[in-house]
Structure 1
Amino acid sequence: MSMESIRESVGSLWDNLAEGWRHLTRSAVGALTRFRAGEKSNLPTPAEVDDPSYLPTRGWAMLGGNMFEDDSRLVVRLELPGMDKQDMNIEIWDDVLVVSGEKHFQRESSEGRYRLLQCAYGSFRRVVPLPVPVLADASTASYTDGILRIELSKAEPGRPKVRTIRVS
């Protein structure tokens, strides 16, 4: 194998890694959510955890979500495992949906130490841009099996408008 061949292979590998990283950041940037430890979070102290990467004040988590649109509504689904529905707040501010809340840590009742803590706990805020105006008063939400489903009625029913621009 020649040096030029190795150089081309490394360059190709680097380009593929860079493209993969760009794709990951584009698709996950909206799903990454910061959890802030608060007084009510009930998190263990660093002395109670053997995980060297445990930082109770810095927690990030993926709150995966989907958005579906038809002629009359937008449906937003967010994964919020381990939450209680009374700890969630849903608001619509102009053209964004804001979901916030607090996920509480549940302590074990027996004596012992935590070996690993990878779940995020504390307060969070997730902002979802809405592609069309919605009627906030006609919207509904339900929470089942860790999935928050928000159905938003469109202010102007109909398919998304497509406009063709002529190139001159």
Structure 2
Amino acid sequence: MSLIHWQPLKDLETLRHQMNQMFDTWTHHDTGGAPGRGMTWTPAIELKQTETDIVLKAEVPGVDAKDLDVQVTENAVSIAGSHHAEERTETEGMVHCELRYGQFQRWVPLPTPVHYEQAKADFKNGILTLTLPKLEPTQQPVFKVNLEDKLRTTATQNRLDDEHRQQTAHRRAEDALETMSEGDLDQAVRETVTQDRQHEEHRQDAVHMRAKSEG
């Protein structure tokens, strides 16, 4: 018997699991785990959990340890091998002996991840027992976001951007007044520019007052 740490393809795992479920009803229905005529034989499985381990037992009568191939992943176990059974019947003093041979494989998904490299196997009286230590879930680090700091930083940045825009507009208004001659501007235009500058100054004063109140 070999115990191998195996990493199969996910699609193959799913296919084998579905096939096992489909054949289980035929294989173990009222047969006590023995293969019937025309039926594909697979070992009966018992799966139990403790606080620290998953214990899997497989009934493989008539199979030698050397004919077993056990492969373990983090989430599943595969049990394969060669099975042979002898059926003897006696009728009217005549003994009829029939031998059955075949390959089998059983794919068993596990309820929780396990340390597959720490798996332990025992085989006695046709019963295979696997003890699989459970894999403890890793706790991901958690970062707590301070919403007050985030909001304060955002408000400060918005205020600085607003002040920069207002200062730029103020300088442009002053430059316009300095470069325009009295002959080029009539009274209406001059009053409009002056009002715009006063409006910008008022907004800038309001921003400074808000900044002082927040500080």
TM-score relative to the length of structure 1: 0.51
Assess, with a 3 A threshold, how the Cα gap between structure 1 residues 72 and 87 changes in structure 2: closer, same or farther.
same
1:90 Cα deviation after fit: 0.8
Larger Rg: 2
After the TM superposition, which residues 25-36 of structure 1 pair with which residues of structure 2 at under 5 Å, given as runs? 29=22, 31=24
Assess, with a 3 A threshold, how the Cα gap between structure 1 residues 130 and 62 changes in structure 2: closer, same or farther.
same
1:99 Cα deviation after fit: 0.5
Which one-letter code corresponds to 1:135 in the other structure?
A: H
From 88, 92, 100, the equivalent of 2:80 is 100
1:92 Cα deviation after fit: 1.7
Assess, with a 3 A threshold, how the Cα gap between structure 1 residues 75 and 30 changes in structure 2: closer, same or farther.
farther
Alignment partner of 1:61 is 2:41: yes
**SS at structure 2 position matched to 1:89:** strand
Structure (1 or 2) with the greater strand fraction: 1
For 1:30 and 1:75, the matched residues in 2 are separated by 23
After the TM superposition, which residues 6-155 of structure 1 pair with which residues of structure 2 at under 5 Å, given as runs? 29=22, 31=24, 59-61=39-41, 63-104=43-84, 114=96, 121-155=101-135
1:130 Cα deviation after fit: 0.3
Listed as ranges, the gaps of 5+ residues in structure 2 are: 1-20, 28-35, 89-93, 138-215
RMSD of aligned Cα (Å):
3.3
Which one-letter code corresponds to 2:62 in the other structure?
A: G
Q: Could you tell me whether the CA contact under 8 Å between 2:42 and 2:106 is conserved in 1?
A: no
Which one-letter code corresponds to 1:90 in the other structure?
A: V
Q: Could you tell me whether the CA contact under 8 Å between 1:32 and 1:60 is conserved in 2?
A: no
Listed as ranges, the gaps of 5+ residues in structure 1 are: 1-27, 35-52, 158-168
Structure (1 or 2) with the greater helix fraction: 2
Identity of counterpart residues, as a percentage?
Answer: 26
For 1:88 and 1:70, the matched residues in 2 are separated by 26
For 1:62 and 1:73, the matched residues in 2 are separated by 24
Which one-letter code corresponds to 2:81 in the other structure?
A: G
- Ranked by relative contact order (alpha carbons within 8 Å, sequence separation 6 or more), the top structure is 1
Assess, with a 3 A threshold, how the Cα gap between structure 1 residues 113 and 105 changes in structure 2: closer, same or farther.
same
Q: Deviations over 1:78-129 (max 9, x none)?
A: 11001100100111234211000112457x9xxx974556xx5311100111
Q: Could you tell me whether the CA contact under 8 Å between 1:33 and 1:125 is conserved in 2?
A: no
Assess, with a 3 A threshold, how the Cα gap between structure 1 residues 64 and 105 changes in structure 2: closer, same or farther.
closer
Assess, with a 3 A threshold, how the Cα gap between structure 1 residues 32 and 60 changes in structure 2: closer, same or farther.
farther
TM-score relative to the length of structure 2: 0.41
